[in-house]
Chains A and B, each alone.
Chain A
Amino acid sequence: MANQIAIGAVEPGCKKVDPILVADNVTRQFGGLTAVNVEHVEIPRGQITALIGPNGAGKTTFFNLLTGFDKPNTGTWTFEGKDLAGVPSYKVARRGMIRTFQLTKALSLLTVIDNMRLGSQDQPGEGFFGSWLRFNWKSRETQITAKADELLKRFKLDAKREDYAAALSGGQRKLLEMARALMSDPKLVMLDEPMAGVNPALTQSLLEHIKDLKSNGTTVLFVEHDMHMVRHISDWVIVMAEGKIVAEGPPAEVMKNPAVIDAYLGAHADTDLGDVEIGSAKEGN
């Protein structure tokens, strides 16, 4: 499996057969503290990649930097071969790289269907002057709504179509946020802790949705604490600690890597990582 993804030795920063996202020398400092210091990393296309690491490892900060929500001190990165450094977050999204947030950002006082419609792109009615004449956007709106209904059905939210997003449960909001991200047919979906706060009943269906994404040709990069989930669905795992990438490789091999065990557990190095539940911990930054 490793051979299908990486070129040459499997080591931190190794080359991939077909990378979709390549980052070089990305650093971010807060005051004197270096939160992110990534020399080189490549995300393989068409695979599910997990980004793991202990609290404060800089995973979410790295996510924010890649998607334009935060500005790095140094660094360049490309998406599908095109430079993405310094590109504002909304343009990153338009290029086909859509992210979700650790604390779910369902738009509470919009209905579920309006949340979904907002996820689409190329709606001429979203322009100020384009919005004046209904015939200008009506046909696109019908297409968007049809697509939204289809996705809602797939995510089993169709019964909630007209409800305010505020009325959904935490897990349903996670589903809604993911479904909304798919409205624009992204090439890369970046999920920040998709499992946090989701009840076990919904976990399985979320996992299935992520696997579905892969089978539809979408690349997935996700941050997660839950090791079971990482082992279960990811094709590739990248481990961050103290802002750096300390290990990467296929899940089974990474879990045995002493550097990973060290980063995660310190004194409890003898415990098997797969048995450790870190899912409840929240990352502060």
Chain B
Amino acid sequence: MDWLNALNLTAGELIGVYTAAYVLAALGLAVHFGFTGLLNFGQAAFAALGAYGYSIATLTLNWPWWAAVLAGLAASGVFALLLGIPTLRLRADYLAIVTIAAAQALRYAFSASDYASVTGASNGLSEFGESFYSLNPIPKGRYDLGFTSMSENELFIRIIGWSLVVIAAVFLFFLTRSPWGRVLKGIREDEDAVRALGKNVFAYKIQALVIGGTIASLGGMVFVMSSQTNQPSTWGTNFTFMIWTILLLGGAATILGPIVGGMVFFALLMFTQSVMEGLVKMGWLPFLDIAQVGQIRFLLVGLILMLLVIFRPQGIFGNKKELQFNG
């Protein structure tokens, strides 16, 4: 068994571009759930709209990269408004079902062959990164980081992805410590009390939904940019559930939590996968084959999510007193 390879792969996940994408989506969810108490189970839709907004603006409309980014942000912002205006007055658990249903309905629409000329239907879209990668100042070549090596474009998207994580985290750090953030936390605790103090609770919830949604859409853009492929199957409920697991792992009402939660989560998945693959190749796990090891990854996601909610709902960094589930 190649332990060094397993460790290298694990270390690679810590700075992986998908890790950055999920962390961005989890930071958005922290605004929704951790700070405002909104049970949003449609986070995949916000990320998907970022990805589709970008790729459709590039391929169908031939917009430059910066306009395409704005299109992605706008798409998820508008979705947040459309979803939020009618639903944010609902009970928390109803909001959960509405958001998951809206995300699924959106995904069916993206997969439908009738709109294939724009969305690429179930095949999705690809090759939309030219304008973005033309910005890459890094000279062509392979870059060896010791545990992993990558092309100049792979390095570039990693730097962009993690820079966005840092920018979003700093932005949210100050925002959640401002009086605005205090009102959000108040709403999380008891929205009627906050209403009785003269705050427009509905407006705050909408703002939180839009902010968290647009941050998630940045995650969606980073996600599809690394491989330049955007497929509807990516944005299923599993995407949302993984974001929840990351958020709860790190601590929902924290800023550092989703970041470290994401890194730990993907490192853990990669490590178990590499070790199990190694064991399968050595014949130690006779009832499994290599393909099934990949499936066990998702099984672990579910198991971690369950155990976290049952035994440590505040996550790694959360203050036990700071986060509790209302209901």
Contacts from A to B (Cβ < 8 Å) = 67, 69, 88-91, 93-94, 98-101, 105-110, 114, 117-119, 121, 123, 125-128, 130-132, 134, 137, 141, 164, 166, 177, 180-181, 183-184
User: A125-B179, A132-B175, A166-B321 given as contacts; is B189 within 8 A of A180 (CB)?
Assistant: no
28 A-B pairs (CB sep. < 8 Å) = A89-B195, A90-B198, A90-B199, A94-B198, A98-B196, A98-B198, A99-B196, A100-B196, A101-B192, A105-B192, A105-B193, A107-B185, A107-B193, A109-B185, A109-B188, A109-B322, A118-B182, A118-B186, A118-B194, A118-B199, A123-B179, A125-B180, A128-B207, A128-B211, A131-B178, A131-B180, A132-B175, A164-B321
- Scoring B residues 182 to 220 as 1 if CB is less than 8 Å from chain A, else 0, what string do you get? 110110111011111111110000010001000000000
When A and B form their complex, which 5 residue pairs have the shortest distance between CB atoms, in order from nearest? Answer: A105-B193, A93-B198, A131-B180, A125-B179, A131-B178
A99 CB contacts on chain B under 8 angstroms: 196
* Residue B14 is within 8 A (CB to CB) of chain A in the complex: no
* Residue B323 is within 8 A (CB to CB) of chain A in the complex: yes
Contacts from B to A (Cβ < 8 Å) = 174-175, 178-183, 185-186, 188-190, 192-201, 207, 211, 321-324
Q: Nearest chain B CB to A115's CB is how many angstroms away?
A: 8
Say whether B196 contacts A89, CB under 8 Å: yes
Say whether A98 contacts B197, CB under 8 Å: yes
Say whether B175 contacts A131, CB under 8 Å: yes
Q: A181 to B190: give the CA distance in the assembly, Å.
A: 15
A134 CB contacts on chain B under 8 angstroms: 174, 178
Say whether B178 contacts A137, CB under 8 Å: yes
A107-B189, A125-B179, A184-B197 known; 8 new pairs, CB 8 Å cut-off, are A67-B196, A98-B197, A101-B193, A118-B182, A118-B186, A128-B207, A131-B175, A141-B179
Q: A89 to B323: give the CA distance in the assembly, Å.
A: 27
Q: Nearest chain A CB to B303's CB is how many angstroms away?
A: 28
Q: A94 to B250: give the CA distance in the assembly, Å.
A: 38
A67 CB contacts on chain B under 8 angstroms: 196
Say whether A107 contacts B190, CB under 8 Å: yes
Q: Nearest chain A CB to B254's CB is how many angstroms away?
A: 13
Say whether B324 contacts A109, CB under 8 Å: yes
A114 CB contacts on chain B under 8 angstroms: 182, 185
A181 CB contacts on chain B under 8 angstroms: 196-197
A164 CB contacts on chain B under 8 angstroms: 321
Say whether A130 contacts B180, CB under 8 Å: yes
Q: A21 to B274: give the CA distance in the assembly, Å.
A: 72
Say whether B179 contacts A137, CB under 8 Å: yes
Q: A259 to B189: give the CA distance in the assembly, Å.
A: 42
A69 CB contacts on chain B under 8 angstroms: 192, 195-196
Q: Nearest chain A CB to B170's CB is how many angstroms away?
A: 12
CB nearest to A183 among chain B residues: B197
B201 CB contacts on chain A under 8 angstroms: 90
Q: A209 to B175: give the CA distance in the assembly, Å.
A: 36
Q: Nearest chain A CB to B239's CB is how many angstroms away?
A: 27
Say whether B179 contacts A131, CB under 8 Å: yes
Say whether B189 contacts A90, CB under 8 Å: no
CB nearest to B176 among chain A residues: A131
Say whether A184 contacts B180, CB under 8 Å: no
Q: Nearest chain A CB to B297's CB is how many angstroms away?
A: 34
Q: Nearest chain A CB to B189's CB is how many angstroms away?
A: 4
Say whether B182 contacts A110, CB under 8 Å: yes
CB nearest to A163 among chain B residues: B321
B194 CB contacts on chain A under 8 angstroms: 107, 118
Select A184's contact among B179, B186, B198, beta carbons within 8 Å: B198
CB nearest to A96 among chain B residues: B198
A131 CB contacts on chain B under 8 angstroms: 175, 178-181
A117 CB contacts on chain B under 8 angstroms: 179, 182
Say whether B193 contacts A109, CB under 8 Å: no
B196 CB contacts on chain A under 8 angstroms: 67, 69, 89-90, 93, 98-101, 105, 181
Select A126's contact among B179, B190, B193, beta carbons within 8 Å: B179
Q: Nearest chain B CB to A102's CB is how many angstroms away?
A: 12
Say whether B185 contacts A180, CB under 8 Å: no
Q: A172 to B190: give the CA distance in the assembly, Å.
A: 18
Q: A110 to B195: give the CA distance in the assembly, Å.
A: 16
Q: A99 to B174: give the CA distance in the assembly, Å.
A: 31
Say whether A110 contacts B179, CB under 8 Å: no
User: A107-B189, A109-B322, A132-B175 given as contacts; is B195 within 8 A of A90 (CB)?
Assistant: yes
Say whether A109 contacts B197, CB under 8 Å: no
- Give the one of B185, B190, B197, B199 with max A CB within 10 A: B197
Q: A126 to B324: give the CA distance in the assembly, Å.
A: 24
Q: Nearest chain B CB to A188's CB is how many angstroms away?
A: 13
Say whether A90 contacts B179, CB under 8 Å: no
Q: A101 to B190: give the CA distance in the assembly, Å.
A: 12
